[in-house]
């Protein structure tokens, strides 16, 4: 798989997430995954790109390769889902939560959707029909076509302005229901995106991509949405 050096992409054409629904998109259905990391070893988590470890009751991710962030993945087939977790920046200033389908060949590495965190914002993205769609992915690496590519994806992402405090635990809920995605941060709904790629019928897995020296995670849960 060809790697790309930067997984967090900030695009000036993206709009701020303004109309965020006050109520959840769905109710929590069957709990299909939960992990409090009260053990030794990664368990079901696969460190596809190092490094990840479990220590002192938390999952830690850190970038161990110069050309790509660390990727720690758990496999759970899902369509409409609610993902909840806690995180604390521990040296890093950005990370992504990415939903993939490795069997889908229309986007780079089968990327379907992502939520990207940085100190001042959270970006919601439709990867399948946005920056990771194969033709757009190639266009954005051609200086002559980048402006055209950015125009094609102007409605495929949104940005929520937040303050992510380093060294503080934060609570996140990500809902994907049909072609809609909603993100809550520390108990407040902050981000919303409606885009066709989000409705992809199978998100085969979810993973954290960590750039920099460290992010801590705890209490990861996945529910089917109903």
How many structural domains are present in the chain? 1
Is 210 inside a domain boundary? yes
Digitized pLDDT (tens) for each residue of the chain, 226 residues in all: 333 333 333 343 344 455 999 999 999 999 999 999 999 999 999 999 999 999 999 999 999 999 999 999 999 999 999 999 999 999 999 999 999 999 999 999 999 999 999 999 999 999 999 999 999 999 999 999 999 999 999 999 999 999 999 989 999 999 999 999 999 999 999 999 999 999 999 999 999 999 999 999 999 999 999 9
Which one, of 30, 58, 27, lies nearest residue 42 by Cα?
58
Is 71 inside a domain boundary? yes
Is 161 inside a domain boundary? yes
Dist. CA 92–CA 89, nearest whole Å: 6
* Domain ranges, residue 120: 30-225
Neighbour-count burial of 67, counting CB atoms closer than 10 A to its CB (0-12 exposed, 13-18 middle, 19+ buried): exposed
pLDDT number for residue 29: 98
Is 4 inside a domain boundary? no
End-to-end CA distance of the chain: 34
């Amino acid at each position: 798989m060809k790697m790309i050096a930067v997984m967090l992409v900030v695009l000036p054409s993206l709009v701020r997430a303004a109309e965020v629904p006050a109520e959840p998109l769905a109710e929590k259905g069957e709990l299909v995954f939960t992990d409090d990391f009260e053990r030794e070893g990664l368990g079901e988590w696969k460190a596809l790109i190092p490094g990840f470890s479990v220590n002192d009751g938390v999952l830690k991710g850190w970038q161990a390769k110069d050309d790509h962030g660390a990727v720690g993945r758990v496999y759970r087939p899902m369509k409409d889902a609610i993902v909840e977790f806690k995180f604390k920046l521990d040296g890093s200033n950005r990370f992504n939560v990415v939903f993939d389908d490795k069997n889908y060949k229309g986007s780079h590495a089968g990327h379907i959707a992502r939520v990207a965190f940085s100190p001042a914002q959270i970006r919601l993205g439709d990867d399948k029909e946005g920056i990771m769609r194969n033709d757009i992915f190639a266009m954005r690496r051609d200086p002559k076509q980048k402006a055209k590519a950015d125009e094609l994806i102007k409605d495929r992402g949104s940005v929520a302005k937040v303050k992510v405090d380093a060294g503080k635990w934060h609570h996140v809920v990500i809902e994907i229901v049909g072609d809609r995605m909603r993100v809550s941060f520390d108990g407040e709904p902050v981000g919303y995106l409606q885009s066709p790629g989000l409705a992809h019928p199978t998100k085969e897995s979810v993973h954290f991509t960590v750039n920099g020296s460290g992010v801590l995670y705890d209490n990861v849960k996945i529910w089917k949405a109903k």
